Structure 1
Amino acid sequence: MLTMKGIPLTDDFANGGVSFWYRQIGLPARRPGLPGPREYDVAIVGGGYTGLWTAYYLKQAEPGLRIAVLEKEFAGFGASGRNGGWLSAEFAGSRERHAKTRGKQAMVELQRAMFTAVDEVIAVARAEGIDADVHKGGMIRAATNPAQRRRLRAEVEDLRSWGYGEEDMRLMDRSEQRERIQVAGTLEAAYSPHCARIQPAKLAVGLAEAVTRLGVDVFENTTVTEIRPRGGGVEAAAVTARGVVTAEYVIRATEGFTASLAGQRRQWLPMNSSMIVTEPLPADVWKHIGWAGSELLGDEAHAYIYAQRTADDRIAIGGRGVPYRYGSRTDVRGATQAATAALLWRMLVKLFPATADARIQHSWCGVLGVPRDWCSTVHLDHATGLGWAGGYVGSGVTTTNLAGRTLRDLVLRRDTELTRLPWVGRQVRQWEPEPLRWAGVQLIYTLFRAADRRENERGTTTSPYARLANLIAGR
């Protein structure tokens, strides 16, 4: 049997290059690159979910708009095709921080907009004929030690004051928890219906095809190096080696790759997250695990995991490996470290002992964007012609849809419920320069891992290591 760091591997195990999601469906044929300088009404930099949703809703609202999407690799290459497949209503960042902007009710409305966005993605996928293995089974959060249980109970209680009812998030009794899924060592679990499983690459590829059918120009193999604001009688512009694209509006939709643009190195920190996926598991293993509802699964650890039961009966599980690379560098085209894959495998077997003999077929990683205050943002400046959305901190599958619809309204100068939500127009300070940025992130995750070890051994309350880490992070 093939092994790596003690992990049992399939004979065709692959590590890096592309996500398992693309290995499953095959890489899409690349579209032509930008043929030279061009003029558009809207130019979108980045062909992931944010850029594609923005193009989709703009073109539907105003079919006459000339819209281009400029993508360095292929549409869906980044986090959109590498994520854990959580179409979740969870929104990144502090509720209190968002509420300070426009009041508590505005934050409640933002959360309700996220609930709606989950169903909006499902509806569009159905309308556009995108078979993305969508299954709305909800989400389970499991607590496996007393400190995690206390945090989970406190979180559910706090959610009540933010407009969550029992129908939105609730603690499960032991019989329901055991009936839904058998996670070893679970002391408490909570359930929310506002989450669906997807195959993320299928959604990205299908959405890119839908956008192209609408008449949007999607240029791949086109690297944007700089975005320039409107000024001096010259329109806003996206600068590429293939030519300059000018437009009334240029939208930055580059998420974890934002640091590659001139002047943006400290804007959003590129955080790395890794995944592994098993071979298809046999019926006798599922008999021990349950999970017939295909809920999405997360835990309450500080260095948390996220998992799904795939449509073809695998388990895909992810978490932080090497969280950040010096100088805001990103991964090498999706390759992850053997030590990270081994860590995820050990976590898989700890949560599901019945998988001890299951072989791992693929490992990969992706990069996500983290603002300095850990809160997502969407913005459009009509004076400069520049807009952006991102900083999803790993909760972007649904948030990108909300961002796309919000950017549509902002570009079209519509005053809507979406444009009044508290994440619109947030201004966030930049991350510290190196080496402070690197040292700070390393310290944060060292403290989080130490907190998890301490809580697993004997902690009944949240470890002070975690409180210190959150203080340093500014979360």
Structure 2
Amino acid sequence: MDVTTNGQVSFWFADIGGLPPRRAPLPGDLAVDVCIIGAGFTGLWSAYYLKQLAPSLSIAVLERDFAGFGASGRNGGWCSGEFGWSRGKYLQGGSRAGVIALERQLRDSVAEILRVCSAEAIAADIVKTDCLTFARNPAQLQRLRDTLAEERAWEIGPDRVELLDAAAAAARIRVPGVLGALVTHGVARVQPAKLVRGLAAAVERLGVTIYEDTCVTGLAPGRVTTARGTVRAPRILRATEGFTHGIPGQEREWLPLNSAMVVTEPLPAALWEEIGWTGAELFGDAAHAYCYAQRTREGRIAMGGRGVPYRFASRTDRNGQTQAATIAKLTEILYRMLPQVRGLRLDHAWCGVLGVPRDWCATVGLDPATGIGWAGGYVGLGVSTANLAGRTLADLVLGRDTDRTGLPWVNRHPRKWEPEPLRWLGVHGMYQLYALADRQEAAGGDPRTSPLARLANRLTGR
């Protein structure tokens, strides 16, 4: 299906009038207290909380393109506070109490982002709401039941999630063939470009300087080299997430996994009434190759999912442009979940990358010997997780002993990804297996998860 615009970073920037004017690049050699690489959510939240705690610090943020160019300005706008990683992996070397504390902090990050948006007058279309995950076959429904049971077994917030039956689920949004839906309370919908640009402006008001069009070419203790000069700093934070592979020496640290989105033209009121989607709920499904969607401020549907999951040798897209086959796949998912919208125009399609560690679990940390810190590997959950990461990095930089610095994701070092072509074969094999598993589950009535999906998880350590 044709779209009006393909690429140009994302629809979210088109929604605010187009790509922003560039800030000045690094003018030459510089010395600061803290140098942050990457002007996305992680880097900007880190700068924000550092300035809140220590206003006298001199901080420089280096950005290859412009603030929000990466995943922070391209995501689905799910501010979920979600713990989407294996609790068992965090238990290795940690404790049950530590995992619970991490999850509670993640969930509290939604309220913290809302607080900062209010305090800094960031108009990011942010609305507190629910997330609805729909099941359309018995295996998907059983996974939702298992998720509910696990949430309650961990006793982190048993009232945060509830399972709706088919009738109650259809009453929220009329998805055909729905068998049930898991409702997660306490999440928020956001316009991500507005949030990241508003946050960038807020840190500048605090005295942080953001240098754009400044590509980092080397990283060493106390020194960041760029094509425009060298920045010396006793503390350096790497906040590059899905673009980490582009820093020399970090090529196999995190895999840049591709995700893509399409957005419709605004829906008329009668069509919204027909769909029954009357609020700002986030919307997804329980498939292995899952989709995620939101109803935007002006009444569009923004739908995302996996396109080409990974490009050989960790290559990334060109300015968000995505393939025709990916657009067709997302259109198929949109029509399958919401057939009422057939015939609507697609106004924009785009893609971007997110960072995936080898164990699929996010990390944050700082090496006191080198002064180099990092955060990322959010596996698609970065809108809210980056906020907690920024607060944690600020504590680590300042040497503060807080309830964040002892959490089990701090200073974890999963092994690196395999060299090519093994990682390309592994990731593409995983998604082929997921696609086969989804078709197998849709065709049958077995409530058990397809063994193909379990094989895919083992194959890649997910």
Report the TM-score, using the length of structure 2 for normalisation: 0.98
Could you say what secondary structure the match of 2:217 adopts? strand
Residues of 2 paired with 1:389 and 1:472: CA distance? 25
Q: 1:374 aligns with which of 354, 360, 377?
A: 360
Q: 1:470 aligns with which of 454, 457, 460?
A: 457
What displacement does 1:459 show?
4.7
8 Å contact from structure 1 (residues 92, 395) kept in 2: yes
8 Å contact from structure 2 (residues 26, 212) kept in 1: yes
1:160-239 matches, cutoff 5 A: 160-229=152-221, 236-239=222-225
What displacement does 1:338 show?
0.8
Aligned to 1:233: none
Give a deviation string over 1:205-224, Cα, whole Å, max 9, x none.
10000010100010000000
Q: Gaps spanning 5+ residues in structure 2: where? A: none
Could you say what secondary structure the match of 1:414 adopts? coil
Paired AA for residue 454 in structure 2: R
Give a deviation string over 1:177-208, Cα, whole Å, max 9, x none.
23321112210101111211000000011000
Aligned to 1:404: 390
Residues of 2 paired with 1:272 and 1:459: CA distance? 31
Stretch deviating more after TM superposition (210-219 or 93-102): 93-102
Could you say what secondary structure the match of 2:280 adopts? coil
| Alignment coverage as a number of residue pairs | 460
Aligned to 1:265: 251
**Are positions 1:19 and 2:1 aligned together?**
no
**Are positions 1:55 and 2:44 aligned together?**
no
What displacement does 1:27 show?
1.7
Paired AA for residue 15 in structure 1: N
Give a deviation string over 1:214-247, Cα, whole Å, max 9, x none.
0001000000011102xxxxxx111101111010
8 Å contact from structure 1 (residues 99, 105) kept in 2: no
1:152-167 matches, cutoff 5 A: 152-167=144-159
Could you say what secondary structure the match of 2:126 adopts? coil
Residues of 2 paired with 1:165 and 1:243: CA distance? 49
Q: 1:95 aligns with which of 83, 87, 90?
A: 87
Aligned to 2:97: 105
Aligned to 2:378: 392
Could you say what secondary structure the match of 1:172 adopts? strand
8 Å contact from structure 2 (residues 104, 156) kept in 1: no
1:231-310 matches, cutoff 5 A: 236-310=222-296
* Structure 1 runs, 4 residues or longer, greater than 6 Å off: none
Q: Percent identity?
A: 56
Paired AA for residue 295 in structure 2: R
Could you say what secondary structure the match of 2:201 adopts? helix
Paired AA for residue 431 in structure 1: W
Aligned to 2:399: 413
Residues of 1 paired with 2:391 and 2:22: CA distance? 26
Could you say what secondary structure the match of 1:136 adopts? strand
Report the TM-score, using the length of structure 1 for normalisation: 0.95
Could you say what secondary structure the match of 2:154 adopts? coil
Residues of 1 paired with 2:400 and 2:158: CA distance? 34
8 Å contact from structure 1 (residues 59, 214) kept in 2: yes
Aligned to 1:83: 75
Give a deviation string over 1:324-375, Cα, whole Å, max 9, x none.
0000111111001111111111111111111012111000001100000000
Residues of 1 paired with 2:91 and 2:163: CA distance? 25
8 Å contact from structure 2 (residues 164, 182) kept in 1: yes
8 Å contact from structure 1 (residues 82, 201) kept in 2: yes
Residues of 2 paired with 1:136 and 1:244: CA distance? 43
Residues of 1 paired with 2:328 and 2:248: CA distance? 36
What displacement does 1:175 show?
4.3
What displacement does 1:401 show?
0.2
Residues of 1 paired with 2:203 and 2:219: CA distance? 23
Could you say what secondary structure the match of 1:102 adopts? coil
Aligned to 2:417: 431
What displacement does 1:137 show?
1.0
Residues of 2 paired with 1:333 and 1:91: CA distance? 30
Stretch deviating more after TM superposition (284-293 or 172-181): 172-181
8 Å contact from structure 1 (residues 278, 361) kept in 2: yes
Could you say what secondary structure the match of 2:256 adopts? strand
Give a deviation string over 1:245-266, Cα, whole Å, max 9, x none.
0101110000000000001110
Could you say what secondary structure the match of 1:378 adopts? strand
Residues of 2 paired with 1:407 and 1:459: CA distance? 47
Q: Gaps spanning 5+ residues in structure 1: where? A: 230-235
Residues of 2 paired with 1:454 and 1:159: CA distance? 27
Stretch deviating more after TM superposition (183-192 or 396-405): 183-192
What displacement does 1:51 show?
0.2
Give a deviation string over 1:133-176, Cα, whole Å, max 9, x none.
01111111111111101111011101112224442111124443
Residues of 1 paired with 2:411 and 2:399: CA distance? 14
8 Å contact from structure 2 (residues 166, 178) kept in 1: no
